[in-house]
Amino acid sequence: MKSRFLIIPLIALVSACGGDPETTESATTPAAKAVPVHVEELQPQTFKHFVTVQGAVESDKTILISAKTSATVSSINVSAGDRVKEGDILARLDGQIVENQIEEVKTGLALARDLFNRQKNLRDQNIGSEVDYLQAKNRVESLEKQLATLNEQYSYYTIRATIPGTVDRVSLKV
């Protein structure tokens, strides 16, 4: 009886190991391994999928532009988000007082130049005194320097962009 129980597993083992060579070979061919695929021809088209991300954007240069003098704001030429180039006028301040001083010095300078030319002509003719000539010359030079200083001060009433970029915030009010 023991031999019968041994023979049954042995027969099962032999039958499992054996096999038809054609069946075994056909299972390993490329046709047997192929998977059915659906093929479509692609057409160029716009990519319409977008990715939304959150983050912080920082510029490589951030500057604060302020007036070199204090005065009333007369006009603001930009607002937040505007693109500016270097030298663009951002705002103007009321510089009427300095402008009046410039006109006054120009008038005085014209008179001083006229007096200087007269003193020079008198001196060239040996009629005028050296002191009057030097005073007239000094007056012209002094008024020219004063005019240059006032023109520089007047330029402070125009606020300009120092670099190209985008305006982030405008804190001025008219």
Q: Is the pLDDT of residue 89 over 90?
A: yes
Average pLDDT, integer, range 105-127: 95
165 exposed, middle or buried (CB, 10 Å; 0-12, 13-18, 19+)?
middle
Q: How many CA atoms lie within 13 A of 134 on its CB side?
A: 3
Query: Mean pLDDT in the chain?
Result: 86
Distance CA 140, CA 116 (A): 7
Identify any residues that bridge with 165 across adjacent strands, giving them in sequence order.
84
Instruction: Find tokens 């039958």 and name the residue.
Output: 15
pLDDT of residue 4: 56
**Which tens digits make up the pLDDT trace of 141-171?**
999 999 999 999 999 999 999 999 999 889 8
Counting residues of the chain whose pLDDT is more than 90, the rounded percentage is 52
pLDDT of residue 26: 55
